[in-house]
Amino acid sequence: MCPLQISPLEFADRPAVEALLDLVFGRDRRDRSSYHLRAGNPPRPELSFAARMDGRLVGSVQQTPVAVGDKGSRALLLGPLAVEPALRGQGIGRALLRHSLDAARAAGWLHVFLVGERDYYAPLGFGPAAAAGVRVAGEPADRVHHMALAPDIPPPCGELGPWLQPRSGGDTGAAR
C-alpha cells in the first residue's frame, strides 16, 4: 500500500468529498444538527484537508467557525471527518484530525468543538463539552466534545450556533 498523503482540500475535491460523506454518513446527513450549525458558512480552507493514497481521496476533514453562547464568541466546529470504510482503523482519521488541529492552533484558534462518538474522540484529547458549559440543540450531551487549543484560556459557555461572517473586511477569523 502506498503512503498516506495529507494536503489541503481543493475545490476540485468537492465531488469526491461529497460522495465519501454520503457513503460514511448517509444521504440524510444534512438533516443533522452539526450541518445546521455550518449552514451558510463554508469550512475554512486553511483548516480543511484531504487524505490521499495513490492520488485517490480516501479521507477528509473540515473545520467551520461557529458562535458560542449569547456573546457569540467564536470557536471551531470540527467535521465532518470521514475515512473510506474499507480503510478504517489504519490511523487515517487520526492523522487528518491532528493535521487539522495543528493548523487551527497555528492560526490562533482557541477552542474546537465537535459532535461525534465519545469512544473515538476522547482518546484523542477531546473532553465533554458539557463540562465546559457548552451544548448543541438536538444533541445528547455525550455526543458533544471540546478541545482547548490554548489550555490557559477557558472556553466560552452556552449553546453552539451558526457563526455569521462579518460584512466588513479586516476580520481574520481567528478566535479571540
pLDDT digits (tens, 9 = 90+) for 13-57: 899 998 998 888 878 787 787 878 888 888 999 999 999 999 999
Q: How many Å apart are CA 94 and CA 33, to the nearest integer?
A: 23
What does the alpha-carbon distance between residue 60 and residue 141 come to, in Å, rounded to a whole number?
Answer: 25
Q: Which three cell numbers stand for residue 144?
A: 458533544
Does residue 111 fall inside a structural domain? Answer: yes
Tally of domains within the chain: 1
Is 0.85 surpassed by the pTM of this model?
A: yes
Say if 109 falls within a structural domain: yes
How far CA 71 is from CA of 27, 64, 129, in Å, comes to 34, 18, 17
Q: Write out the residue range of the structural domain in which residue 85 sits.
A: 5-162
Residue 173 lies in a domain: no
pLDDT tens digit string along 121-145? 999 999 999 998 999 999 999 999 9
Quick check: is 71 in a domain?
A: yes
Residue 74 belongs to some domain of the structure: yes
In-domain check, residue 145: yes
The string of pLDDT tens digits covering residues 146-166 is: 999 998 888 889 999 998 765
Could you tell me the three cell numbers for 120?
473515538
Q: Is residue 60 part of a domain?
A: yes
Note the pLDDT tens digit of each residue in 70-106: 888 999 999 899 999 999 999 999 999 999 999 999 9
CATH code: domain of residue 97: 3.40.630.30
Paired residues of 160 in beta bridges: 68
Segment holding 78, helix H or strand E: strand 73-83
